[in-house]
Structure 1
Amino acid sequence: MLLLLLLLLLLLLLLLLLLLLLLLLLLLLLLLLLLLLLLLLLPPPPPPPPLLLLLLLLLLLLLLLLLLLLLLLLLLLLLLLLLLLLLLLLLLLLLLLLLLLLLLLLLLLPPPPPPPPPPPFTVT
C-alpha cells in the first residue's frame, strides 16, 4: 500500500514537472514571437543579403518545429503517465475487491469448532 502511494506521488511529481516544462516552452515561444514583432516594428536597417535572411528564416522555422516536436513528445509522455496512473488505480481496485471477497469468505465460513473442554480435575 505504501509502495502504491509512493508511486502515485512520484507520478504526480512527474506530471508537475512536465507541466512546468510545458509552461517554459510556451514562454519561450512567446518570447520568440515578441522578438519577431519587435524586429518587424523597428525601422528597417540596411537590407541584409537575401541569403542571410533566408538562413535566419530557416533557423526560426527549425526552432519552431523543434518546439512543436518537444510539445508533442511532452503530450505523449503525459498520456503515458495518465495511462500508468489508470492502470495503478485499477490494480488498487482489484486488490480492494480481492480483500473484500476474502473478508466475505471468512464471514461466511462456519466458525471453527470449540476446543474440547479440559478433563475435570480429580482429587485423590
Structure 2
Amino acid sequence: MTTTAQTIPQITQEFIKKYEAAWSKGSKELIKLYTPDCILVGYQTVQGSPQISELLQGIINQGWTSISIKQVLNKSLDDNNILLACEYTAIGSPALNGQQMTAKSSYVLTQENGEWLIAMHTAT
C-alpha cells in the first residue's frame, strides 16, 4: 500500500489499536508487531525479538497490564516508513491499585510483506 496524507492517520490508528490489544495479551503477542532486528530504547536499550520480548514482559510482570496510546504526530518518510510520536498511559493491575503512569513514545513503522511493523521504538 502506498502511503498518502490520507492513509497515514489510518495506518497509525490501526497500529495503535493492535498495540493496545497485544499489550493486554503479553509479550508473545506484542513481539509480532516488531521487526526481528528492531531496536527498543527505554529504561534499557535492546535489539532483537528475544531481548525486546523479555523487556516488555518484565514491564507487564511489574503490573502494567494495559496501555492506552494517543497519537500526537505522524510523518511519512517514504512509501514504506512512517514516524509516529505518541503519549501513552500505562495502567496498573489491581495489584498496583489501578495506578497510572503517563509518558511519551515514538515508533518507526516499516512496511514488510504488507504489514506495518515497528523497526524502532523509544519510550520515556
When normalised by structure 2's length, the TM-score is: 0.24
TM-score, normalisation: structure 1: 0.24
- Structure of greater relative contact order (alpha carbons < 8 Å, 6+ residues apart): 1
Structure number with bigger Rg: 1
